[in-house]
Structure 1
Amino acid sequence: MINVIRGWMDRYFSDEEAILFSVLLIACFGIIIWLGRPLAPVLTALVLAFMMQGGVNRLQSVGIGHTAAVLVVFLAAVSGFIGFVVGVVPAILAQVESFITELPRLVAGVQSQLLVLTERYPDYFSAEQINLLVNQVGQQVSSIGQWLLSFSLESLPNLLGVLIYLVLVPILVFFFMKDGDLLLAAIGRALPDRRPIMAQVWAEMQHQVSNYVRGKALEIAIVGAVTFLAFVMLDLRYAALLALLVGLSVIVPYIGAAVVTVPVAAVAFIQFGWGSDFFWVLGVYALIQALDGNVLVPLLFSEVVNLHPVAIIIAVLLFGGIWGFWGVFFAIPLATLAKAVVSAWPVVQRKAELVHSD
């Protein structure tokens, strides 16, 4: 057994860089797991700086200086965030408040719509079954409403944390973009001069993660905006709230679209019943999902994501269980990191074999 373990170690960890790289990976994951909460502003700023770096590079490619490009991109991002908070957030919060207030009436509307089934299909549905189902749903809805209310009340003490984010994160984002090369150079000086594995993984991840994060943010914005316009044209209630849910659903491939279908269909059913408007809403929603999956995603991620759907779902479940929302958001880049590490490791294996053959 000892010889087997020793042979495996010699096969995959004969190179000093492989050992150092393994230690660095374990240390990084450990820091994020155990110190993720206090370092959340720093990690958030890193993500945002990564997303905005593409704009800085494009401005520099047309002859604009680095500092000026950073200022332009930073001010544009801050202006966009302020516009979102002022123009979009109040509408979403108003619709959330309206939805919570009207939950009892919505449940009653569902009951009246479902009772129609007992008249049309008495052999399959009975009034007792419908009433039992509605009562159970009503209890769940009531608990959800109480949770939302308690959540909003409990979030009041966290306003200080929000203010800290609003101050620290923009400052960190600016300096990460402005002095990113200096920070990377300082980290590089602490590493060995010869690091082919790290260089290969870093080059692939720099391309994959940056393009994925920017592409995913653009996908959320496009899908959310198109969904909002479509629902407004269809006169669907809670259009802003539902559009936000649909936009965020693209974070979780495959699973998100299936989950968000439920509230979209429920609101349309309560508002329109079994009429043609209900099927128009579902048809338009299905069209948006189809265009997103077959047109928008290939355009945005054609050179980025090359993972099997099973691997994506496993990554979402695994990293989402570890890090929550951010784990879900970065599930695909983290899975890509694992793939890049695995594909870089055989280089060490072949080198080790050559050394032993000599």
Structure 2
Amino acid sequence: MSDSQRWFFLILAVVVALLLYLLQPILSPFVVAALLAYLADPMADRLEARGLSRTLSVVVVFLVMTTVLLLLVIWLLPKLGYQLQVMIKLVPQVFAMIQTVWIPWLESNTGISLEGFDLQSVQALMSGHWQQTGSLVKNIFSSVGESGLALAAWVANLVLIPVVMFYLLRDWDVMMGKIGYLLPRNLEKKVTLWANECDEVLGAFIKGQLLVMLALGIIYSLGLWTVGLDLALLVGMLAGLASIVPYMGFIVGIVAAGVAAMLQFNDLTMLAWVGVVFAIGQALEGMVLTPLLVGDRIGLHPVAVIFAIMAGGQLFGFVGILIALPVAAVIMVLLRHLHQGYKSSKLYDC
């Protein structure tokens, strides 16, 4: 890479970052649409390989995704909303259990005195936040309804996502080809190699790990529902979402399900059944889901995932959260090649 090319790409990166920062209030629907198009492109490519035209392939994929999304919204959201309200009502019981059962048990078995711990203040703080969370959707719709401009913007964004996604998905391969054609000829092969490695990393997380999370959420929810837990769907989906970090979903899920089971049944036998559900989920994840959906593709380290999401949100808000993993994948590939170049340079071997 020549000096002029280095300066060009450095200036281009600065300009892109500045535009992301300045335009973040309007970029959310476009970024969401681009991520959905990226996820759906392999399905459209498979249909196209079977003889369908690109437009027809995109229409089929688009209809399938829209139908699945509508069914999830119609069936899932009311149930999650109801279970969230149930969980809010259980918060005082959780604090009562901590006060009457757990703290005395800790004091008697460890000799540690917790008299100075102000549980009432924590309870008041948490209860206030849970009440705010429970009324969040109502407040959002109230604020939207009070302003015609806000309502128009909300509807426009909602409509814009599928429209932009459709056109991006239809022209995805064409756009990638044009981007490759615009690259300097001496860099085209290397940048293509890096892009393929970035796609491999993203595939392991955005395509593979998200499917694992969804599957685990369904497995945990069905298992806890079989046990008879009232909050089965909410706890199961929460454990599935937390599974983006290895073992975090298991820890979060089994603790939340254990507390909910004790409050509902007050029977230690139910804790054993909850443990069985999560043990089966972990076994399926390790032996079936991860090898099948993620395989041996190189993924991002869990710490890198957490840091990328937090840094993206801090720098660019919601848009930064959406682009955090793609940017982290690119940085990871660049750092790996930089490390290889350093190991083969005179600076390292002198």
Q: Give the direction of change, closer, same or farther, for the CA distance of 1:209–1:118 in structure 2 (3 Å limit).
A: closer
Alpha-carbon separation, structure 1, partners of 2:339 and 2:110? 61
1:148 corresponds in structure 2 to 133
Identity %: 26
2:237 corresponds in structure 1 to 244
Q: Give the direction of change, closer, same or farther, for the CA distance of 1:179–1:331 in structure 2 (3 Å limit).
A: closer
Alpha-carbon separation, structure 2, partners of 1:133 and 1:286? 35
Q: Give the direction of change, closer, same or farther, for the CA distance of 1:188–1:119 in structure 2 (3 Å limit).
A: closer
1:180 corresponds in structure 2 to 172
Q: Give the direction of change, closer, same or farther, for the CA distance of 1:167–1:123 in structure 2 (3 Å limit).
A: closer
Higher relative contact order (CA closer than 8 Å, sequence separation 6+): 1
Aligned length: 337
2:147 corresponds in structure 1 to none
Equivalent residues of 1:212, 1:333 under 8 A apart = no
Equivalent residues of 2:201, 2:299 under 8 A apart = no
Confirm whether residue 76 of structure 1 aligns to residue 64 of structure 2: yes
Deviates more, 1:202-211 or 1:32-41: 202-211
Equivalent residues of 1:118, 1:125 under 8 A apart = no
Confirm whether residue 215 of structure 1 aligns to residue 208 of structure 2: yes
Alpha-carbon separation, structure 2, partners of 1:343 and 1:257? 31
- Equivalent residue in structure 1 for 2:227, among 218, 221, 234: 234
Offset of residue 36 of structure 1: 2.5
Equivalent residues of 2:225, 2:232 under 8 A apart = yes
Q: Give the direction of change, closer, same or farther, for the CA distance of 1:210–1:315 in structure 2 (3 Å limit).
A: same
Instruction: Indicate the SS of the match to 1:155.
Output: helix
Confirm whether residue 87 of structure 1 aligns to residue 75 of structure 2: yes
Instruction: Indicate the SS of the match to 1:38.
Output: helix
Corresponding letter in the other structure for 1:176: L
What residue ranges of structure 1 are gaps of 5+ in the alignment? 1-12, 354-358
Equivalent residues of 1:55, 1:73 under 8 A apart = yes
Equivalent residues of 1:250, 1:257 under 8 A apart = yes
- Equivalent residue in structure 2 for 1:279, among 272, 277, 288: 272
What residue ranges of structure 2 are gaps of 5+ in the alignment? 145-150
Confirm whether residue 36 of structure 1 aligns to residue 24 of structure 2: yes
Confirm whether residue 57 of structure 1 aligns to residue 42 of structure 2: no
Q: Give the direction of change, closer, same or farther, for the CA distance of 1:123–1:301 in structure 2 (3 Å limit).
A: closer
Alpha-carbon separation, structure 2, partners of 1:119 and 1:182? 66
Offset of residue 266 of structure 1: 2.3
The alignment's TM-score, normalised by the length of structure 2, stands at 0.79
The alignment's TM-score, normalised by the length of structure 1, stands at 0.78
Offset of residue 92 of structure 1: 0.9
Instruction: Indicate the SS of the match to 1:63.
Output: coil
Alpha-carbon separation, structure 1, partners of 2:187 and 2:138? 51
Alpha-carbon separation, structure 1, partners of 2:225 and 2:37? 34
2:55 corresponds in structure 1 to 67
Q: Give the direction of change, closer, same or farther, for the CA distance of 1:91–1:224 in structure 2 (3 Å limit).
A: same
Deviates more, 1:79-88 or 1:117-126: 117-126
